[in-house]
Amino acid sequence: MIEKLHEECGVFGIYDTTGGDVAASTYFALYALQHRGQESCGIAVNDCGVISSYKDVGLVPDVFTRDHLEKVGSGQIAVGHVRYSTIGIPTREDSQPLVIRHVKGPMVVAHNGNLVNAEELKEELELKGAIFHTNSDAEIIAHVVTEGRLATDSIEKGIELAMDRLKGAYSMVMMSATKLIAVRDPEGFRPLCIGEKEGAIIFASETCALDSLGAKYLREVDPGEIVVVDKAGMRSIRTHCKGKGHVCVFEYVYFARPDSVVEGASVHEARQRAGAFLALESPVQADVVIGVPDSGLDAALGFSKQSGIPYGVGFIKNRYVGRTFIQPTQAMRENAVRIKLNALSATVKGKRVVLVDDSIVRGTTSARIVKLLREAGATEVHMRISSPPFMHPCFFGTDVASRDKLIACRLNSVEEIAKEIGVDSLAYMKVEDMKKIAQVTTGCDFCVGCFTGEYPIETPYEKPVCKYDLKI
């Protein structure tokens, strides 16, 4: 309803032989990861090699009633998933985790990311007789891993072989009859962490899922690492670890929850640091600093602290309007932002306002937000964006639009963008500052390809185009 970027998925897995309720733990963890995918969700539970699962379109509390959780049952291992679909209409078939059964036993896959060679692999598999039932890369991965598994004596060796063929972003949690496995691509585009609670080992896209269970954060799954948990304990396979990875920098700007830690860096502190950089690089005379909920709030606070301009609450957010809000008419579409956000006149009336947001994609939502502030009595609106302009598509699991739809590509200058969205001034974060906002402790670098067009790995297209237009 409000123009924002979306990240494809959140994954979770737990191995607990102490008698804990793994289905309930997965439910609460998915609730904590709901921001990463709001269109479908699912849970698969392993009870001594017998796997039961349930998934559907909808939010976690809507899909999983008490009856559904009871039907999934109890067990020792569980895998969960929340999904945002980047193409088509969300369907139950495309929901994850995927449960695969083959001659060497069952396998469950929950995937976050996007393969850049998905179409190539799919065609190769189809020519061998593979039949696909979904539009997700997870099913392609399942087929490739299964081929590797049939040629080896363990699932982890099958995954190693599969990683030689998979190119792109994949942070996955997988389950066999006896093992829970976490896998991260050699660049580490998407986050994946390890936690522990009372003998249980946990994998999750973000540390906020660990916090929801009272679990202790241990470390990140390293780029290229395979972590296997079974009755013998936890062990690591590092045949595809090549050193420094490139986590998506937008995890710190927008995707991750502010209470999460990604690659050892606090997301909350990274966003405040982004606001401070904006205040230093693009100062302005103003009376109040406000942020666009939710990810713009921390950056606004950082701008306020650095500049000395008072911080204020400029918008009240309607928490009961989801992404599936129906907009059947043009009039309703025009009012979408007004329904989601309401400007607080007491904060902005008669004042020069610094408005901080995480990004501008097409510009339509930004223009409507600025209009709300003008109508609430703001005399000036100076917009500051805690990321650089989007100039290129993302190939690794973020739905950055094609160039012709990006306002920074459509218009020739920042001044033209400012005029179109109706602000008195506009400034973006610099790319070089963007790389400094997160003080990571793991030695990981950042992917900033959607801003620069320079990607950590080769992309499959000669020119930047929207990869989703090419998907079947």
Residue 414, both tokens: 């920042």
Angle at 434 between CA 433 and CA 440, to 5 degrees: 105
The token pair that represents 1 in the structure block: 């309803």
- The percent helix, strand, coil of the chain (3-state, each to 5) is 30, 25, 40
On whether the CB atoms of residues 99 and 51 are closer than 8 A, the answer is yes
- Known binding residue 208? Answer is no
Burial of residue 66, with CB atoms counted within 10 A of its CB: 0-12 exposed, 13-18 middle, 19 or more buried? exposed
Amino acid of residue 59: L
Active-site residues, by number, are 9
Q: How far is it, in rounded angstroms, from Cα 398 to Cα 236? A: 29
Cα→Cα distances 408→20, 214, 384, Å: 51, 43, 14
Residues 444-456 as b/e (b if ≥16 CB within 10 A, e otherwise) read: bbbbbbbbeeebb
d(C-alpha 465, C-alpha 156), whole Å: 35
Does 357 appear as a known binding residue?
yes
- Tokens of residue 64, six digits: 């999983």
Q: Check the annotation: does 358 bind a ligand.
A: yes
User: Rounded CA gap, 3 and 321, in Å?
Assistant: 14
DSSP state of 413: S
**Burial label, 397 (beta-carbon count in 10 A; 0-12, 13-18, 19+):** buried
Distance (Å, whole) CA 189 – CA 106: 28
Say if residue 295 carries a ligand binding annotation.
yes
402: helix, strand or coil: coil
Answer for the pair 64, 41: CB distance below 8 angstroms, yes or no: yes
By residue count, the chain amounts to 472
Binding-site annotation: residue ranges for [4Fe-4S] cluster: 248, 394, 447, 450
Binding-site annotation: residue ranges: 248, 295, 357-358, 394, 447, 450
Binding-site annotation: residue ranges for Mg(2+): 295, 357-358
